[in-house]
């Protein structure tokens, strides 16, 4: 909730000088934090969620905490020189809105996702004269455009990496899948209050002892049970159970996770502690024969993936980082109201 009231910032990670990047050094490097905002404070937003309601529509969109008025008097966010190349690190720090970022009358190599409502920011060239044009380019219509954009994102297999072996030398297509987990989102009411669920269960975050501490002190059985949801969605998900959700996964298992979205709004998911290969996004319902359409060569390694309405997304990863890790909806009212779970990764000898 603090993020809704401006509690966010950027963390910049640069490549080491010994590791060449596949593009010339930019003239400058800018961080652009974009997101939705609510006029209510974080305490008021929390009360809304605790009462069993979602946050509703946002009040606007900001760029680095600012919204340009477009009257020719706005101070620029950044100033550039004509003819030079600049790097922009763009991050969506909002609560629930997918955002598309465009630069007026300029081409970008990697634009981002979907536009819902409009906000503007000003950048200018040194010695530039006059205000920016008030005519904005039309946004993409529907989500077929970002779906095709996702399919166009590919790993550069010729670029170097942190070790002598190049990117793409990790052949994830040659690893046998040892477990497939299919997660389907639903929404419903429990005791008259809204809850969001995965495979018919809504995560209960009101436990006495933090989950990892319970494991550390060997009292996990007193606090929660493992694998309380099936690896496949039940046929009937009208009834939602509220309980802690912790999946037990053995260290170094290669796992396939698919996310199904049967609803009418985009749903992004985040996995903490890991990066994964985002191998497929398609419409409809996932089934094993759909694997033939997956990108098993040069999928981009990432930690967040979007699932479009009436669609599914598939990821592949090796759980090689022991600990307790969170899989959650990045739509924060859904996350707060239960659309999340934890993955407990232990060495084989521990259990």
Tell which wins on pLDDT, 210 or 119: 210
289-to-70, 281, 293, 316 alpha-carbon distances in Å:
51, 14, 9, 16
Model confidence at 351: pLDDT above 70? no
Per residue in 289-348, pLDDT tens? 999 999 999 998 899 999 999 999 999 999 999 999 999 999 999 999 999 999 999 876
Per residue in 133-144, pLDDT tens? 777 767 667 778
pLDDT at residue 155, rounded to an integer? 83
Closest CA to 324 of 283, 287, 281, 271: 271
Mean pLDDT for 25-38 is: 90
The burial of 15, by beta-carbon neighbours within 10 Å (0-12 exposed, 13-18 middle, 19 or more buried), is given as exposed
Mean pLDDT for 81-94 is: 88
CATH class of 172-350: mainly beta
Q: What is the 3-state secondary structure (H, E, C) of 220-284?
A: HHHHCCECCCCCCCCCCCCCCEEECCEEEEECCCEEEEEEEECCCCCEEEEECCCCEEEEEEEEC
- Do residues 314 and 257 touch, judged by C-beta distance below 8 A? yes
Q: What percent of the chain has pLDDT over 70?
A: 87
Give CA–CA dist 194/49, Å, rounded: 9
Give CA–CA dist 97/103, Å, rounded: 19
Give CA–CA dist 136/145, Å, rounded: 18
Give CA–CA dist 256/258, Å, rounded: 7
Closest CA to 278 of 178, 155, 108, 184: 155
Per residue in 158-176, pLDDT tens? 766 555 555 556 788 889 9
**Cβ density class 256-265: b for 16+ within 10 Å, e for less:** bbbbbbebee
List the Cα angle 120/124/128 in 5-degree steps.
Answer: 135
pLDDT band for position 116 (50/70/90)? very low
Give CA–CA dist 97/58, Å, rounded: 8
Q: What percent of the chain has pLDDT over 90?
A: 47
The burial of 247, by beta-carbon neighbours within 10 Å (0-12 exposed, 13-18 middle, 19 or more buried), is given as buried
Task: Taking the CA atoms of 144, 150, 153 and 155 in sequence, report the sign of the dihedral they define.
Answer: negative
Model confidence at 129: pLDDT above 60? yes
pLDDT at residue 350, rounded to an integer? 46
Give CA–CA dist 310/260, Å, rounded: 8
Cβ within 8 Å of residue 51, ≥6 positions away: 193
User: What is the number of helices (H) and of strands (E) in the chain?
Assistant: 5, 18
β-partners of residue 189 are 194
Model confidence at 178: pLDDT above 80? yes
pLDDT band for position 5 (50/70/90)? low
List the Cα angle 129/130/132 in 5-degree steps.
Answer: 115
Stated pTM of the model:
0.85
Mean pLDDT for 217-222 is: 91
Give CA–CA dist 93/10, Å, rounded: 9
192-to-48, 201, 202, 246 alpha-carbon distances in Å:
14, 16, 14, 25
Tell me the chain's radius of gyration from C-alpha atoms: 22
Model confidence at 113: pLDDT above 50? no
Average per-residue pLDDT in the chain? 85
Q: Where in the chain is the domain with CATH 2.60.40.420?
A: 172-350
Cβ within 8 Å of residue 14, ≥6 positions away: none
């Amino acid at each position: 909730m603090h993020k809704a009231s401006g509690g966010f910032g950027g963390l910049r990670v640069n490549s080491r000088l010994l590791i060449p990047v596949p593009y010339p050094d930019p003239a400058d490097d800018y961080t652009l934090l974009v997101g939705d905002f609510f006029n209510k404070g974080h305490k008021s937003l929390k009360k809304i969620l605790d009462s069993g309601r979602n946050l509703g529509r946002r009040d606007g969109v900001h760029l680095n905490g600012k919204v340009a008025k477009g009257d020719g008097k706005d101070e620029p966010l950044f100033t550039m020189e004509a003819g030079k190349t600049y790097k922009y690190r763009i991050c969506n720090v909002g609560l629930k809105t997918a955002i598309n970022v465009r630069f007026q009358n300029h081409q970008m190599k990697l634009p981002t996702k979907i536009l819902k409502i409009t906000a503007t920011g000003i950048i200018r060239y040194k010695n530039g004269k006059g205000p920016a044009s008030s005519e904005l380019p039309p946004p993409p219509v529907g989500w077929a455009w970002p779906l095709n954009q996702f399919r166009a994102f590919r790993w550069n297999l010729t670029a170097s990496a942190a070790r002598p072996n190049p990117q793409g030398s990790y052949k994830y297509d040659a690893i046998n899948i040892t477990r497939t987990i299919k997660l389907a989102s639903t929404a419903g009411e429990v005791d008259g209050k809204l809850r969001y669920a995965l495979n018919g269960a809504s995560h209960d975050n009101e436990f006495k002892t933090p989950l990892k501490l319970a494991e550390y002190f060997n009292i996990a059985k007193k606090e929660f049970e493992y694998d309380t949801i099936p690896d496949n969605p039940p046929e009937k998900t009208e009834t939602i159970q509220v309980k802690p959700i912790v999946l037990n996964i053995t260290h170094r298992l290669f796992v396939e996770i698919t996310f199904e979205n049967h609803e009418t709004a985009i749903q992004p998911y985040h996995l903490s502690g890991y990066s994964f290969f985002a191998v497929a996004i398609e419409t409809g319902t996932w089934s094993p024969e759909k694997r033939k359409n997956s990108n098993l060569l040069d999928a981009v390694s990432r930690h967040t993936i979007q699932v479009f309405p009436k669609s599914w997304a598939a990821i592949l990863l090796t759980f090689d980082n022991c600990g307790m890790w969170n899989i959650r909806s990045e739509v924060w009212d859904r996350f707060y109201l239960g659309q999340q779970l934890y993955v407990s990764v232990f060495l084989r000898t521990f259990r």
